[in-house]
Amino acid sequence: MIAGLVQNGLGVEAVSFYKEMVRAGEKENGYSFASVLSACCAIARLQHGKMVHCRIFKSGFCMDTIVGNTLLDMYFKCGSSMDAQLVFNTMCSYDVVSWTAMIVGYGRHNDAGRALESFRTMIDRGFKPDNITFLTILSACSQGGLVDEGLKIFHSMVEFYNVKPQREHYACLVDLLGHAGRLNEAETLIRQMGLELDSFAWESLLSACGLHGEVDLGKKSAGKVMELEPQKHGPYVLLSNMYAEQCRWHDKEMLRERLNCSNIRKGASWSCFPASEAN
């Protein structure tokens, strides 16, 4: 029930159901702890997560690797990298998921240095990174502007670890070059790797163009995304913002008219907190 509620986006109800379970005297197991921690992640409630952590400790499940990995994810998503590091330091055993969770967490907190340190320590201790690990460290390097390190990691993924790059890895590489302002190299990479029909790669380049105010290449990238995925509103928004920053009001108005004629509508945004708790 708890896992099902979480999967359907009902994190608050999942936590309430867990409390009912505890009040009814039912004993938790590793799966129930992992499920309720996922609920705490979904609603970003650090206090609830810490209460569950206390029960994990009292129940003797703190030595469970899967539960430990879920705790790492919960603390990072709730904004406490210090608690996540403490959990990691006290775990009895690790797996690739544990190290990947640390890399993801530090990358999410814009701490590329620690993400890279975790990746290197993972390798030093004999763990073999998988395609998910490489994706997360490439993303962290991109966010942190660590271009040379990211390129070295990408080459090691192919040449040393024999991990075949997927479209997401190439998109991260495009994003890595783009964030560093090497936009022409990023576009060349898209063409050399046969990614002309990959909207994800063009979106990464479009985002980088917006970051550096490169309107002409941004217009080309946005056009590719619009062509490949005509129902997406994202490229219209990004390109419109770029036109506004360059005071190209006529171009922005024409793009707005094109968007209105396309019948594309942006979905409504929702808060993850109930209205009564948001105040």
> 26: helix, coil or strand?
coil
Per the CB < 8 A criterion, the answer to whether 146 and 177 are in contact is: no
Length of the chain: 279
Calpha distance 252→22 (Å, rounded):
56
User: What 8-state DSSP symbol labels residue 266?
Assistant: P
**pLDDT tens-digit readout, 230-249:** 888 888 888 888 888 888 88
- CATH classification for the domain delimited by 166-265, as one of 1.25.40.10, 3.40.50.720, 2.40.110.10, 3.30.930.10: 1.25.40.10
* Annotated domain spans of the chain: 1-87, 166-265
Query: pTM value?
Result: 0.78
| Measured CA distances, 261 to 94, 229, 240, 257 (Å) | 54, 16, 15, 6
Calpha distance 98→166 (Å, rounded):
22
**pLDDT tens-digit readout, 76-101:** 998 899 999 999 998 988 999 999 99
| Measured CA distances, 60 to 33, 41, 64, 71 (Å) | 12, 22, 9, 14
Which residue matches tokens 């030093």?
A: 124
User: What 8-state DSSP symbol labels residue 25?
Assistant: T
| Measured CA distances, 199 to 3, 28, 170, 196, 243 (Å) | 33, 44, 12, 8, 21
**pLDDT tens-digit readout, 113-161:** 999 999 999 999 999 999 999 999 999 998 888 999 999 999 999 899 9
